[in-house]
Amino acid sequence: MKRSKGTVILVASSVDTIILKDGSTDRIGFYLNELTIPMQAVVAAGYEIVLATPKGNKPVLDRSSAIAAHFGNSEEALNKALEFVEKYPAMQNPVSLRSLVEGGLDEYIGVFVPGGHPPMVDLMQDPYLGAILGHFHTNAKPSAFLCHGPISIACSVRDAAAFRAAMVAGDTAAAKKASAGWQYAGYRMTVFSNDEEHYAEKNVFKDRLAPFYVADALTIAGGKLEFAEGGIFKPHAVVDRELITGQNPPTAPELARLFVKALDEISATVEV
């Protein structure tokens, strides 16, 4: 059997519901192509993955994302993605973020968080993910986030729960205070844009508003946000030091390429 080149932590949310601006709720889940395209590329490149969520439960798929349009209109690619989620061993055996932290993080070579709206709810304020990202930041290990996934890095602000509460309340001053001294302040990055969120509000949430905008949150915390030119849902990825971020679902193939490249670079320098 070929030896693994290292293990990547796939972090997903434990939630399946979001409270919108008006207090109503909607069902949410991870986007199929955002999880599977990068993770299939990681596995194909010779790495293992471990799936971790805050509660150690299986993450919920946003079924509306299970369409061939997100896979180059290939039904075969769509079916392979669904098979990956439903049958790949790591996807069937999630662990808790806490268990990873308590077991030690030195063995892990990379971390990845896909999008869909769930990271806005729990991951962005999870203390154990904060500990993981602190380790990866300190050790300059590849850390990749896609679409809404980049909001997860807010878990590493000084007071993540207060930061999220301030964003929901529209209290910019409180959000700045809660995020002072952020480890990613000054980093170039991208995330699902406000214009793309407006599209989601109209077409996904049926004219209801998101609780806050992830692009605004990362800007307030100190991120240097960059977006694709030429309209919404154009592929765009940004690499700054260990941080790799992608803007939206169409960016999944490019983020996969950049993440594997970064993993290969670091795996060549460490003993795994």
Domains with residue ranges and CATH for the chain? 7-267 (3.40.50.880)
pLDDT at 271: 54
Q: Is-contact 260 161, C-beta < 8 A?
A: no
Place 272 in a pLDDT band, splitting at 50, 70 and 90. very low
Q: Is-contact 144 245, C-beta < 8 A?
A: yes
- Checking if the pLDDT of 154 tops 80, the result is yes
Helix (H) or strand (E) holding 89: helix 89-92
236-252, pLDDT tens digit by residue? 999 999 999 999 999 99
What is the residue type of 201?
Answer: E
Distance from C-alpha of 199 to C-alpha of 209, rounded to nearest angstrom = 10
pLDDT at 24: 98
DSSP state of 83: H
Averaged pLDDT for residues 203-224: 97
Distance from C-alpha of 115 to C-alpha of 35, rounded to nearest angstrom = 8
226-235, pLDDT tens digit by residue? 999 999 999 9
Nearest to 84 by CA among 108, 118, 52, 61: 61
Distance from C-alpha of 108 to C-alpha of 198, rounded to nearest angstrom = 37
Q: How many CA atoms lie within 13 Å of 36's alpha carbon, on the beta-carbon side? A: 22
How many other C-beta atoms can be found within 10 angstroms of the C-beta atom of residue 180?
13
Q: Is 73 exposed, middle or buried (0-12, 13-18, 19+ CB in 10 A)?
A: exposed
Averaged pLDDT for residues 3-16: 95
Helix (H) or strand (E) holding 164: helix 160-169
3-state secondary structure of 166: helix
pTM of the predicted model as reported, rounded to 2 decimal places: 0.97
Distance from C-alpha of 118 to C-alpha of 116, rounded to nearest angstrom = 6
Q: Is-contact 244 142, C-beta < 8 A?
A: yes
Question: Tokens 């999870």 sit at which residue?
Answer: 126
DSSP state of 272: -
Q: Is-contact 222 181, C-beta < 8 A?
A: no
Degrees to nearest 5, angle at CA 22 with 21 and 23: 95
DSSP state of 118: G
- Checking if the pLDDT of 46 tops 80, the result is yes
E strand spans, 107-240: 108-113, 143-146, 188-189, 224-225, 237-240
- Checking if the pLDDT of 142 tops 70, the result is yes
Distance from C-alpha of 184 to C-alpha of 29, rounded to nearest angstrom = 26
